[in-house]
Amino acid sequence: MRVAFVGKGGAGKSAIAGTFARLLGRSRDHVLAIDSDPMPGLALSLGVPSSDAPIPDEAVEERAEGEQGPRYRLRAGLSAAEAVQRYAVEGPDGVRFLQFGKLRGHVATLARSQFAFRQIVAELPADDWSLVGDLPGGTRQPFFGWARFAQTVLVVVEPTAKSLLSARRLARLALAEHPPEALLAVANKVREPADVDLVAQRSGLPVVAAVPWDESLAAAERAGRAPMDAVPDAPAVAAVASLLERLRKGCS
Ligand SMILES: Nc1ncnc2c1ncn2[C@@H]1O[C@H](COP(=O)(O)OP(=O)(O)O)[C@@H](O)[C@H]1O
Ligand SMILES: [Mg+2]
């Protein structure tokens, strides 16, 4: 399963993606959760102790002069799967975690790690690894190349005017650049059935799941804990579990 969560900042991408990856980790061996947002969010929602999971310089080499291809790549002999085993942080439920964008030190360090990150996501054997991506909130950035890994793009939408507007924009972008096999909406912070209808109408996307407004999720976040650790029986967690089931049935 290769899934990317996109949506406006604050819509609930990290909370849902983290919970989704944890649930997936309970039944699958190889789950990689990837955070491409420079602001840490996914680590917390996954329950990974540190959000610092960069790809070190030693794992990356510069393209030789006169050679074709991207400027940096994983060093010769290091496969994508080995890089994950070696450098991704292992979190609860066996989920591996890689951070794409955190800026530490010079921006050149970030560029090296980003090329490697992109290569890992592109080359990790699809039949062996599940990928769950938490993409940044902006409308343009998410689809710059590397998000192609996703067979299923899930747009997380709150029933608010702004969130609905950016959902439509994201949907158009996703279809324009590299159409995924499935492009679906997840209605989040739902307080009444009419909220789901609103998301369906205004986003123009099929709504694959409705996650209720759940105070305990916000409380877990305030306490610095992952929903799966702090409130595993919360209604919002149950809704993410049904989302996973639905996608499984659709073989995404
Ligand atoms: N269903 C929900 N009910 C209540 N609060 C939620 C729900 N989903 C997310 N939140 C809260 O909303 C805030 C933003 O969520 P987050 O996952 O960080 O959004 P994003 O990653 O899209 O920016 C967090 O405080 C989170 O705990
Ligand atoms: Mg986030």
The pLDDT tens digits for 129-138 are: 999 999 876 5
Task: Report the pLDDT value the prediction gives residue 252, as an integer from 0 to 100.
Answer: 45
Ligand 1 centroid–CA 211 distance in Å is 11
Contacts of residue 133, Cβ cutoff 8 Å, sequence gap at least 6: 3, 4, 5, 17, 33, 34, 35, 36, 121, 147, 149, 150
CATH code of the domain in which 23 resides: 3.40.50.300
54-97 tens-digit pLDDT: 788 889 999 888 888 888 999 999 999 999 999 999 999 999 99
Query: Residue 207 and residue 26: Cα distance in Å, rounded?
Result: 25
Using a pLDDT cut of 70, give the percent of the chain over it: 88
**Mean pLDDT calculated for residue range 88-108:** 78
14 lines ligand 1 (CB under 6 A): yes
**Mean pLDDT calculated for residue range 9-15:** 93
Task: Report the pLDDT value the prediction gives residue 182, as an integer from 0 to 100.
Answer: 94
Query: Residue 178 and residue 102: Cα distance in Å, rounded?
Result: 25
Testing ligand 1's pocket by substitution, the residue of 14, 22, 46 carrying the most ligand atoms inside 8 A of its CB is 14
Q: Are 20 and 3 in contact (CB under 8 A)?
A: yes
Sign of the alpha-carbon dihedral angle for 82, 104, 71, 180: positive
221 lines ligand 1 (CB under 6 A): yes
Contacts of residue 71, Cβ cutoff 8 Å, sequence gap at least 6: 62, 63, 111, 115
Shortest-distance ligand to the CA of residue 42? 2
- What's the domain range around 182? 2-249
The Cα-based distances of 209 to 45, 78, 205 in angstroms read 19, 39, 11
* pLDDT score of 104 more than 70: no
For all residues of the chain together, what is the average pLDDT?
88
- At 136, the amino acid letter reads P
46 lines ligand 1 (CB under 6 A): no
Better-scored residue on pLDDT, 115 or 86: 86
In 63-194 the beta strands, taken as DSSP E runs, fall at: 72-74, 89-90, 96-99, 130-134, 152-157, 182-190
Put simply, whether the predicted model's pTM sits higher than 0.85 gets the answer: yes
Query: Residue 165 and residue 211: Cα distance in Å, rounded?
Result: 19
Query: Residue 236 and residue 171: Cα distance in Å, rounded?
Result: 24
Task: Report the pLDDT value the prediction gives residue 49, as an integer from 0 to 100.
Answer: 81
161-204 tens-digit pLDDT: 989 998 888 888 888 777 899 999 999 999 999 999 999 999 99
* pLDDT score of 140 more than 90: no
Count structural domains, the chain: 1
* pLDDT score of 233 more than 80: yes
Specify the ligand 1 atom closest to the Cα of 215. Answer: 4
Tell me the backbone φ, ψ of residue 105, rounded to 5 degrees. 70, -140
**Closest of 164, 152, 18 to residue 91, by C-alpha:** 18
